[in-house]
Amino acid sequence: MIGFLRGVLVRKSPQELLLDVGGVGYRVLVPISTFCRLGDQGALAELLIHTHVREDHLILYGFATASELELFEKLVSVSGVGPKVALGVLSGIEVDDLVQAIRANDVARLTRVPGVGKKTSERLILELKDKIASFHPEASEPRAPSPKRNDLLSALANL
């Protein structure tokens, strides 16, 4: 299983990267928060990886921080929430805001995330509340630049 990649960004788009690691190009799906933290094309990038294996695909999900990766793995453990939805949740809300919304039973805040309805929000709260009781996002993590992130979210929601 792949758990970490370090390489040069060959191509970068809001939901996907192509990372050259020793001459091998890895396609990695990322949330908006990770996209915003990475440099431009040609820059060196380091990503924590969640390897998702299905019978017909091997998909890599990349994260700039351990908190994002840990929360992603907690999200995919919720029944009915797959990697695509989990990635969408992390793209639509910052890690600390998501943790706070779950702890506060804030269904309305979670339903504002594109692609997450009331039932999914309620299920997330029900199944994750105990799992994130002791979860503390990394204090040194910089927040993604808001204007750029908001523009990206708006563009993706309009697609």
Q: Are the C-beta atoms of 49 and 17 separated by less than 8 Å?
A: no
The alpha carbons of the chain give a radius of gyration, in whole angstroms, of 15
Cβ atoms of residues 65 and 140 within 8 Å: no
Residue pLDDT, tens place only, 88-142: 999 999 999 999 999 999 999 999 988 889 999 999 999 999 888 887 766 444 4
DSSP E strand boundaries for the chain: 4-13, 16-21, 24-29, 44-53, 58-63
pTM for this one? 0.82
Distance CA 74, CA 50 (A): 12
Two tokens at 71? 């929360």
